[in-house]
Amino acid sequence: MGIPELREQIEACEEIEPLAKLAEDHYKNETTKGQPFKVAIEAADWSFHNVSPEKVKQIRKYEPAANPIEKEIFRRICRLLTSNIRPVYVFDGANVPPKRGWTAGRIVNSKGQALLKQILDGLGVPYIEALGEAEAECCRLQVLKLVDAVWSMDSDCLMFGCTLWIRDYRRAKDASKTSKSNGDTEKDKKVVRVVRAERLQAKFGLKREGCVLFAMLAGGDYGNGLLGCGRKTVLEVARAGLGLSLCTARNQADCKRWRGRLLIFFAKKSIKIPVPENYPRFELLQWYNNPMTHSDDFLRQHAAQNMHYEMPVQESELLQSALPTLNMTRLPYLRHVGPVLLSQYIAGLSGSLPPENVYDIKLKNTRTSLYPSLEGQIFPVLERTFTFCRNDLTSIPPVRFDNWEAFKAKNQSAPYDSTCRVECDMPVFLLEKVLSVDVLHPSERSSMKRKNPEDPHNSPNTRPTVRKKNNGSAVSNKPFTTSDRFSHHRTNFAPTNAANFKSSTPPIRRPNNSVLIGKHVEIIKISD
């Protein structure tokens, strides 16, 4: 839920970005060079915004033991890990304050949470049991620079100190429809919504304390605020510096003195909003301004005990405890976990070593460079689709799958194939460590060859010689190039838009009345 009245300001500062871009920018940043992008995830958010109850019921009709919610989370985490994004899972604690009339605490699916923790252990993803709200604990991790971003649907993150906030991005199932309801949209697997605190401050002058002020005056998760107080009024109060002074209150007496300052401001601006005698309540302010979290020392120690959130996959544990409950046999396991193992292997390679394609990576012709869901935004090639041989990556021998009693029949129906290849998408910045430029960027390589300064045709001082023929035709000793095609106007030819060509070097369409002389000479009859 968060702060409803802050929605307009949030959406004005929101950016739509591919996850691969966030991972690449972090990996190539001078201060975080070579490091994975770490994200604290609110567990309840990913469980709630998941497979719908209707879909779960439908799946369990055919497979009563299915756990579709946990299985989908398993897939999402595998995709993040493959992109060199390291999640830290945070569960709500027992001391969650009551939300707008609801009793304190949260309803917890103990069975689902236990299974989820087994999955996290197997994938090497650390998790924390928060003292209170999970999103507050996530934000504290980011404030301490133990993670780089927070993933939650709750805008409370902004008043808890988060500076890089990630949310799901939903795209329309049908491009002709404008409805944003969950039924008409679907979660994008590669793209997210991003809010940076610096943009909110630059555009509206709102810092963390201003977001706390929004919740106190206009309403948030724990209270309705002042009757009749909307975003316009709150922004005026925030610009007067009353948000910062509110957050310095240490007891109810301080809150009472702050109320006096608010009344003076309202009178000065002729704002007629009633302010109750007991407003603001210090307890309510604490829930917004100073939420209950683990101590900083506890969180730092937790990160240190978990390899600073860069744990490898624990395959044996994953196979032993988690996978049987996910109804996952050998091939699905390799399709999801294989890319994670490859990604972690590549990320661990030294950047100073020459590229070596150990696992027989074969790129497919498709490139993920344009994200249609971004309303025309075009990004460089961020990911490539490829296949690879995963046999030497996994530490689990085929016999362990074949003798797995729970799925023995299914495994036998799809016998082990040592030549089977796995297909996946992976960020280009990782593939650059194992593939040469010729393989990964063939168009750039060929472009470099074409621009070779030793080539006399590429010399700026070389001018083509042209001689006239009696019939009015011009003969040139310069090869006919793509640039010639678009830099000269020739009548009787339809204009061609270069952007419509699919390949990096557009095919050359020869005029009907042209005659080729030798290898590099073309005669074109020029009409008046």
Residues 134-147 as b/e (b if ≥16 CB within 10 A, e otherwise) read bbbbbbbbbbeebb
CA distance linking residue 46 with residue 135, whole number of Å: 12
Give the pLDDT score at 390: 74
Give the pLDDT score at 446: 54
Q: pTM higher than 0.85 for the full model?
A: no
pLDDT along the chain (528 residues), means of 10: 89 95 97 96 94 92 91 97 98 88 61 92 97 97 98 96 96 76 84 97 96 96 94 95 97 98 97 96 97 98 95 90 80 90 94 83 72 64 90 76 60 66 94 91 60 50 44 44 40 41 42 40 40
Give the pLDDT score at 234: 96
Contacts of 311 by beta carbon, 8 Å cutoff, 6+ apart: 124, 125, 126
Give the pLDDT score at 447: 55
CA proximity to 213, closest of 258, 257, 251, 276: 258
Residues 68-98 as b/e (b if ≥16 CB within 10 A, e otherwise) read bbbbbbbebbbbbbbbbbbbbbbbbbeebbe
User: Residue ranges of the domains in the chain?
Assistant: 207-294, 330-449, 463-524
Provide the 3-class DSSP secondary structure of residue 165: strand
Residues 163-174 as b/e (b if ≥16 CB within 10 A, e otherwise) read bbbbbbbbeeee
Amino acid identity, position 170: R
Both tokens assigned to 343: 């990604």
Give the pLDDT score at 450: 53
What count of Cα atoms within 13 Å lies in the side-chain half-sphere of residue 134? 24
Give the pLDDT score at 396: 79
CA distance linking residue 492 with residue 196, whole number of Å: 54
| Helix or strand holding residue 483 (H, E) | helix 482-487
Question: How far, in Å, are 88, 323, 352, 425 from residue 432 at the CA level?
Answer: 27, 32, 12, 14
How much helix, strand and coil, in percent to the nearest 5, is found in the chain? 45, 15, 40
Tens digit of pLDDT for each residue in 205-240?
Answer: 999 999 999 999 999 999 999 999 999 999 999 999
